[in-house]
Every structure is written in C-alpha cells, then in structure tokens.
Structure 1
C-alpha cells in the first residue's frame, strides 16, 4: 500500500505516469486519491500552448543569417512550463501540509464529528473546533470556540484548548463551553482536569466548574447524564441574562433588542431549541416582560 511518508517520490512518479499497473491500483485505493486526482484535473486545465523548441531555434538561426550584423543570441522561453510545474508543486504542498481539520456550526445547528481515534465530538450551535489530524496519535488536542460535548476514547492525554482555559482527560465524557468571558466545564463520566488562569480543578462525574468574567469561579454537583442541549433544550443555572439571550440568538438566528432590559440580572431556567415561539414565551414570561417578534422574523423587541 502507498505510504506517502516513506516514499517521497511516489507522487512525482504518479504525476509523470511512471507507476506500474499494480502500484496504480493500490494508489487508487488510498483515501486521499480523490483529492490528488482533483488537483491534477485542475492542473491539466491550465492553458499552456505547446512550444516547438526546434522550430524556434530554426527561426532564430534564419534571422541571424539574414541579419548577420546583429549579434542575436537565441532565447527560449521556458517559463510557462516552470510556472505550471511550480503551480502543481505549490498546490500539492498546500494540500499535504495543511493538516488541520476544522468544523463550524451555524444558527440552531448541531454537528457530530468522529475524531481520528474514534472519540466523538458534538458541536452546539455557533461553535467552531479544529485539530491536527496528522499528529493526532501524539497530540490529542482540540481547539474550541463555543460549546461541545466530548466522548473520549481512552489513550494519551486529550485536551480541549480554549481562550479561557484548557480541559484535559485520558478517557471520559464531558462538556465544555467557552465564549468571550464565559468558561464552563462539566464532567459526566470519568475525571477531567480544568485549568483556567490560576485555577486548577479536577472534576469527577456529576461535578461542574464555571468562571464568568472576573467573578470568582464556582463548582456544583448535578445528576444529568448528558448536556440538555443534546436533546434540543438549553438550560441555565444562575447565569447573567445576556448569556441566555445570546443562546436564543445562536439557536434561532435572531437579534434581541436589549436596550430596555437589565441583562445582568441572574437567570435560571430552560427553553427548547426547536420551537422559537415556545422559547421566547418561556424566557420572557419568566422575566415578566412583554415582547414582539417583528415581521422580519429576525428581531425581538420588548414592549413597554
């Protein structure tokens, strides 16, 4: 089987059509063959005119004989061929050395990703995660912006890196949420190590850690077996209201006019992620506020 790490000239031989039938058959079964083939198809589409070198030399010699008084040396323009070859090399280089896999979710979307070792990552709405697939065996690290639930296979240390802190485990199930000045880690199985600023905390199943802005961090216990958002329900436990509104906006692609609302008040409650009418009624009735969803279906305003 083709191994691009051991045979550095294999791609060159393939490009030049030098593979044996057996080698070509094996190469076509390689998981990256489709991508390589697309790159070559794009390279073949380059508009390069065939250059007749012998004809060019004869033309130059003819002109030199006709105008012997001019000391003209033949110049053969080979740059189109070098440019084409360089383009192919650059394209292959970008493809081969860009080893990061990135995943992004949109409004109200969830995405399940199977990681290289069989671990599972489920992204919540408006979240982004990436990892280095080529070095995964020695560096199981996922960069996260947003929220994700992880089911990690046992093995080397597995780390979720965020702007607010890191969560590391060997094999377990846990949830991480990180955005702006909000950082939360919740352990559902096994043990996780949480590092955020000066805090170093070990969580076991049924334990949670949270740090909001510059307030003191907090820990709590719970009985749930998985995050509620996996089942399309957003849940909040004593968080400032503006985080609740942001979750509503992320789930339903709306904008909430908050100029007449104190968004620093503390909120505890839930709302569904698959019914905007019920979600808005649930949150605003809890707050004792009247609201209106404008005809554009994208803006929520509070009525006085």
Structure 2
C-alpha cells in the first residue's frame, strides 16, 4: 500500500479514506511495514495519522459483537460510567438498536475528543471584509472577503500548516537557519484544494475558489506540489513574478506577470483587472463582495475589456462596463442585472 498520498491529509481526510479504513481493519503485513516507514519518514503527520488509526480501531472494536451477552455487558459498562454516583430511580430496558446507538455515540464522542486535541484555530471573513491575522509563529495572513483560514493552534510539534479557502496574502516569517538542512518545524505549508504550497520565508497571494487555485509569488521562493491530469504528484518551484493556475481537470499553467503587486490590490479595496472577461469580473463581485449577478445571456460573460481597469468602487466598475461593452446594467441592493 502506498502511503505517500497521506502527507497532506487532515484527521477528517483519514477517516473518510476507504483505502486507509481497509488498512486499519485488515492490517496486512506488507501494509504494516509500509505504515511504519511512513510514520518514520513523516513524524509531523504521525500524531494525526495515529489519532485516526486509533479512532477507527476503537469504532471497529466497539460496534462488532459476537453475541448478545457481550453486547449487553458492554452496554452496561457504558451505562454505569454515565450514571455513576447518581441515585437509581428505574431500570430501563433498551432494544438492541438503542444499545448499538449508545455505543456509536460514545465512539463519536471519542472521535470529537481526538479532533479537539488536534484542533485548529479558524478565522472567517464576511463578504467585503478584509482582515489581517498573526499566526503563532509571527507570520501574517490577510484574508479577502468570504474567505476562511484554519491552522494548528500550536506550531511547536511539526511544520507550520494552514488551510485556505478563498483568497489570502501570506507574509511568512523566516525561521530556518540552514536552507540546505530544513527541519520539519521550520517548514511552512499551505493547503488549498489538492494543491500544496511549501515555503520558507516569502510573500505570495493565494486564491482558491470553485475547485480552481491560483498562486502569485511577490518575493522569495516557494514550491508547489500538485496532481497532474494523470494523478501523478508533481512539483514546480516558483520565483518572484510567477503566477500558476491549477484545477483538478487540467495541468498546471504557468505565466509571468509584469507587476505582481497587482495581485494584492484587493487589500487596498481596489478593483484591478487586466484584459479581463466579464465573467472574471463577475466572479470577484460574487465571491469577494457578495453580489448576485444575473446575465440575460451567458455569452455576455465572454466579453472582454482590453487594457487595465483600476477603480475603488463597484459603481465605477459598472459604469466602465456599461460604456465600453455597451451593456444595460441595473442594480438593486446587492443584485446586479446585465442585459445587452
């Protein structure tokens, strides 16, 4: 069994992976040897992997009963731990269904406890909201509207890992001493969709929405790990000015950008577009600012405005679109209707 794909798994990912579930249940000799090598090679992931392993093992042991007497014995133990110290009023008789349900509830509680012990702090922004947070290592992350970041509450036990859904600007603190010998705790890894970004100390912008991810590098150097269309794990090292785009259905697309600072114009609440289609601009209005945009014809989304647009308000953007693309645009509260 190949455990290499589990290097970026969360606790929930392990529990939802059929191959991992089968391994825990069956534990073939060859798989166990590979499992031990995986834990030795990835000590930062061992705690989460072992927690998932133990949770699955506990569930399997507690939900299977060889006979009614064993089931009754286990249920009485659970009931006794819950009611210890309380006066007994009446002994209740439960059907086998409720006994199994009670056992499952205990197992579920143990899973929750495991997850709590390995809990991640999370920050979410509303539409149109921009917020900067400081991570436990001193790195800064600025979130765009309608974005969420979660990260380990403690960066002491392994690499610095964060998970992003939406858009964010990262300013990563440089903590490694020797770049040729990087310890696990010195790594900084960003998870977004099925793409992972590994950095040491740098500034980059990540946008991950609708199963599409784009990464723009402003300063420093980062490595992007991703799956190509044939599900092979690939790597790409980015330099300042690089922009990469990736989806599950396509290979990594790389391009150079003249002015990387344009990627972070949203921090100043600017709406900046370069040779953008109407569909791209609508995406920003909906995803970042929470507008509902209705097109009378989907083909309108293919219209493109050549050159650069740089405005500070939605009203100014709509005026430009109306004039340059000859569109009829009406707004009502947070709903925008566009017709030809």
TM-score by length of 1: 0.62
1:291 aligned to 2:329?
Answer: yes
Report 1:151-190 matches (<5 A): 151-155=171-175, 156-190=186-220
- 1:271–1:278 contact (8 Å) kept in structure 2: no
Separation in 2, partners of 1:159, 1:233:
28
Structure number with greater Rg is: 1
CA displacement at 1:189 relative to structure 2: 0.9
Report 1:65-214 matches (<5 A): 78-79=85-86, 97=117, 99-155=119-175, 156-198=186-228, 199-211=234-246, 214=250
Deviation larger for 198-207 or 118-127 = 198-207
- 2:241–2:260 contact (8 Å) kept in structure 1: yes
1:270 aligned to 2:309?
Answer: yes
Separation in 2, partners of 1:104, 1:196:
25
Separation in 2, partners of 1:190, 1:254:
35
| Structure 1 match to 2:285 | 248
- 1:241–1:267 contact (8 Å) kept in structure 2: yes
Separation in 2, partners of 1:196, 1:96:
29
| Structure 1 match to 2:267 | 230
CA displacement at 1:265 relative to structure 2: 4.6
- 2:303–2:325 contact (8 Å) kept in structure 1: no
CA displacement at 1:135 relative to structure 2: 4.2
**1:64-106 per-position Cα deviation (integer Å, ceiling 9, x unaligned):** xxxxxxxxxxxx983279xxxxxxx99xx68962621011111
User: Is there any run of 5+ residues in structure 2 with no aligned partner, and where?
Assistant: 1-82, 89-108, 176-185, 229-233
- 1:106–1:126 contact (8 Å) kept in structure 2: yes
CA shift in 2, pair 1:242/1:136, >3 Å: farther
User: Is there any run of 5+ residues in structure 1 with no aligned partner, and where?
Assistant: 1-75, 82-88
CA displacement at 1:159 relative to structure 2: 1.1
Q: Which protein has the bigger helix share?
A: 2
Separation in 2, partners of 1:300, 1:256:
5
Equivalenced residues, count? 219
TM-score by length of 2: 0.56
Q: Please provide the CA RMSD for this pair.
A: 3.2
CA displacement at 1:280 relative to structure 2: 1.9
